[in-house]
Each structure stands twice: as C-alpha cells, then as structure tokens.
Structure 1
Amino acid sequence: MGAGAAATPVSYKGMEDNVKGLVLALSSSIFIGASFIVKKKGLKKAGASGLRAGFGGYSYLYEPLWWMGMTTMIVGEIANFAAYAFAPAILVTPLGAISIIISAVLAHIILEEKLHIFGILGCVLCVVGSTTIVLHAPQESGIESVKEVWDLATEPAFLLYAALVITLVLVIIFHYIPQYGQTHILFYIGVCSLVGSLSVMSVKALSIAIKLTLSGTNQLMYPQTWVFAMVVAVCVLTQMNYLNMALDTFNTAVVSPIYYVMFTSLTILASVIMFKDWDRQNPTQIITEMCGFVTILSGTFLLHKTKDMADGSKSMRLPKHADEEDGLGEEGIPLRQQDSSMRKS
C-alpha cells in the first residue's frame, strides 16, 4: 500500500506535465499555422520586386510582412520549445497537425487556395489522430541533469542515426537540389525534415536544461548545454532557409502537410531511438499511438490530394515571375515547356 501511495504523486505529476505540454503545443500550432500564411504573403510581395526566394533571392528580408510572419512563427516555436520541457516528443510533435488545419483554412480564406470537401475530412482525421495520440502518450521520463540527455545522445544507436541524417542532408543539398529543387518538392522538405529531427532532440535537451536551471539546478555550467544550443541554432537556420525556398516555389497547402508528415515521422523515430519512449509503454499503447499517427497521415494525404483536385489543371509549382500568375499554359503544361515544344516543331 505504501508503494502505491508513493507512486501516485509521481503519476499525477507526469500527467500534469503532459497537460502543460499539450496546452503549449496547441498554442504553438495556432501561431505556426498562421505564420505560414503571413510569410507566404510576404514572399509573394517581395518576389514581385526582386529575385524570388525559390531561386536563391533574399529580397524577402526587406519585407515587413515576412518579418511579421517570422515573428508569429518565433512565438509559436517558443511555445513549442516550452512544450518539450514538459512532455515527450512523441506527444508534442504530432500535434503539429493542428498547424496544418490552421494553415489550410487560412490559405482557403486569405490566399484563395481552395480547400476541397475531402480536405475538410482530412482536417477532421488530423484532429481524431491527434486526440488518439494525446490520450495514449507516454509520461515524460524523470531526467535530473543535461548530462543524462548527453549520455542518451551519445549512445551508438543515436550516433548512427545522426550520421546517416547528416550524410543524406549533404547529398541532397549539394547534388539533388541544384538539379531538381525547383520541380520536386521532396528535396527542400527532405532537408527541413531530416535536420528538424535532430533539432527537436537538441531542443528537448535544451528545454530540459532551462527547466532544471529555473527550478534551482543550474545546468548552464555544463558544456553539453551549450553544445545542444549550437546544434539548435545551426539546425533552425538550415530549416528556415530551405522552408522559405519550399514555400516560395510550391503551394502552401502542399508544403505544410508534406513537411508535417516527413518531419513528424523522422522526429518520432529519433525520439524512440534517443529517449526510448516506447520502453515505458505496453504493446497496446504503442499500437494505439501508431494508429493515431496513421490517421493523421491519412488526413494530411487527403489534404494534399484534394488540393490537386481543387486546383484542377494547376501545377503545385509556383511561377518564376510575378506577372505569370500560374506559369502554366493549356492542359497545365508549364509555359516554358510549351515554348520549347513549339520551337522544336
């Protein structure tokens, strides 16, 4: 009986932390979802008077609207950062699906990127899947020092994962993006997602360090804390650069769900490897969480496919020039491709 009584406060504390993480994660999704739209407006406005971000331009840095969107995203990321201090990544990260819904609805209203009826069903599936994961998420493991996180990060399994991610990112950046970045969305988003899975693990470590420091156990004196901080800085800058390229080149309603699916899948994988989240759960809980995640994937897939249906013959690739509204000719064929075909004939 004594053991049961001792276990109850710990369990309650873990549940309370999960609720805090849940609220912070939901707030983060609202801000981030809105930021996609504001940044897209800023990118379009900047692209009308300068070299577009999708072609290596940085004129958006002079656009106040883009900075407004960036500020909104930063607020969302701060809330997300705080969420990782209280709840496991396997709970916080999938809740990014809410940002997809916010982004899709606002894109429909503000950017006039039509949302098909099945896209609405996709939003509902995202909510159902998120709820399933929330109800069956593991409680945060008790970590008392940033050194414990460092020990987890330097285990062979996670070091192998990190090495594979870094190698793949370098190959994509230097080989595939110069050739296919403007026509294949997966390369820009792939870099963001791969780097993002490492950044979340570092954000998790850094947020735990700050949480412990604020509670009276100083973690800033450990060099590991600053290593995690540097990794976060490098990863976030890389993500921001390639996400801007993706947003400027492709339709927002396509970028958001694909980024979410790839980023969340890789982050859950990284979290399972590093923090061993599933070691604290039984098979039923794990299977239920995976079903919830598959439900979210189904929702994002619907959002993606029905966007194509709503656009009809429009390509998901955006124009190079501001005066070419869609950059498409008849039957959805890019204008440059049509011109080339006419010259050959």
Structure 2
Amino acid sequence: MFSTHAPKRRLLLLGAPVAAVALALAGCSTGTDAGAGDGSSAVAAVIKGLDNPFFQAMEDGIDSTAEADGVDVSVQAAADIGDTTGQADKLTTLAGQSFGCFIVNPISGTNLVQALAPVAAAGAPIVNIDQPIDAESAEAAGVTPATYIGTDNEAAGGKAGDFVVGAVPAGSKVAVIGGISGDVTSAARVDGFTSAVDGTLDIVQEDAADWKREIALTKATDIIAANPDIAAFFAANDDMGLGIVKAVENAGKTGQIVVVSVDGNQDALESVQSGGLSATVAQYPYAIGTLGVQACQVALQGGDLPKNIESPTALVTADNAADAIAKFPQPFEDFDNPLAEQLGE
C-alpha cells in the first residue's frame, strides 16, 4: 500500500535528479574486492530477459534514473524469459562484488532465493520488483526483501475482464492464455480476469503459452479452429496478446474477436491504436525500474520503506491510445510516489 503521508507527485517526474541523494551517492565504484553489504552505495539489478520489451523498458527506467540521480548501477539480465538458472548465476556473481543494494526481478518465485542468501547475510537491502519472491522459500533462506514494488496483478486482470464484459454479449465464449504454468504473476492476472467475467461469459478454454508470442499464436489458432464462434481472448501479457492478434488476423476475423492483454508495451499500444488489440491494461515497467532505484536510495540512507509499493496501471483503449503513446514510457495518468518525501521532493 502507498504511504498516506507522502506528498502527491506525478510519475512523469520520477526520473528527475534528487540533489541530496546524488551528492551522497555520486562517484561510487563497483569494484570486485569486497562482498555485498560492505557499505558501498553502488546498486546491482538483476532482471528478466530483454527478449521481452517489458523488461527492456524496466532496464531503461533503472539506467535513466541512476544516471539522473548520480547512482552507480550495474544491470544484468537473463538470456531470455525462461532462463532461470542463468539469471541466478548472474546474481551469484554480483553478490560477490561490492554492491550496497540489490534490485531483483526474478523469473520465478524461487529461482533467485539461494543466490540472495549471502546478500541477506551480508546485510545488503534487497528491493524485489515486478515478480514477488516466494515468501516461504525466502524465509527458509533467511531472505527478507526491504520492499516489494509491482503491479496489483489481480486488479489488472480484473480491469481486462471488466472491459471484455462490456465489449461482448452476455454468454459469449472467451478463452484465456496465461504465461508459464504455475507462475504467480500469470495466475493472479488470470484469476482477476476470470473473477470479473464469472457468471457473465463462458470461458471455453484456458491454456499457457510461456509468455511467448509464437506459442500464443499457435494456441489461439487451435482455439479459433475448435471454437469458430469465440468472441474474445484474454492474454496475461502483451507479447502473447499480439500472437493472438496474428491468429485472429490469419483466421480473417479481425474486428470480430476482442483481444485484451496486460503490460502496455509500445508495440501493444500501437496495436490498440491501429485496431489489432482491443485493449491493454498498461503497467509501467519504466516506472517500476525507477522506483526500484529510488527504493535503494532510501534504503542506503537508512530510511524506512513501505512493505509494498503498488505501481500504477491504466486501461488503454482506442479512445486514449494516442495519449498513452505520446507519454510512453511514462504513465499518462497521475500517480502518487510514496518515496517522494524521503527523497526530499
């Protein structure tokens, strides 16, 4: 939840320099002769694969904010969205270097837990972004994140479901394409969607496409063939949503089947504007990256962080797609930054 004591601050200003913090953190190095938590003010970030534009935008938010605020940051990314072992190896390497704070965006709830154990033991703050670390596994390893920053994924799925309910007749057939089976983020978005359409629409199939466009294309192609009267699809991310859009186009049903996804990547916003995707529930990975760096700044100053920081979401349709594109990668709606007060803004 957001701090009720923080002043209102538009996220458009999230990347602005923070003079006091910049003076304290400027000029730090990332030498390799000491371990995590040795008093360094340098920040390490480990994120998901840059094969997905969502995480490209997240990296941009981290890098841009660090540059503006004078923070020494090193970002490492997994080889792809499924590279759980490679991502953990990158974190293990960084954990042996001199970083004072760690930003982690794990591929799964557990794949970075063991690599974080020495970080936690050394006393370095851990800022968990986007994908929550599994609480039970973290507790067993002695890992306690300083804060979690991310989307309310169930609410995001609910926004998509509400849109579909308003876009197709009651009783219509819909299909759901989730990410990796068992993934907590995907499950929350799917749960939010299914709850929103429950009792109004008929979910004829639910499948997983591992967050990947080409797999979603194949799955949707098969679903359309088996259900020629399908009225809508929900995809748990934009990449899969765009794969479904291609399947709809290949079937000659563009404009006849509603397709809604979650993320708000630039190519998805452009698809909404051009009539491919019907809507996307936009998250702001750039803002998540920015908030991650700012949370490390607060932690390194000894400040108190909220247990959870909810990043903004907004439903983007043909009516507001142009505005969303014009302001991308920043949110086009106001957002109260709960870290503003501690950053002296």
TM-score category of the 2 structures, normalised to the smaller one: under 0.3
Query: Which has more strand, going by share of residues?
Result: 2
Bigger relative contact order (CA 8 A; separation at least 6): 1
The alignment's TM-score, normalised by the length of structure 1, stands at: 0.24
The alignment's TM-score, normalised by the length of structure 2, stands at: 0.24
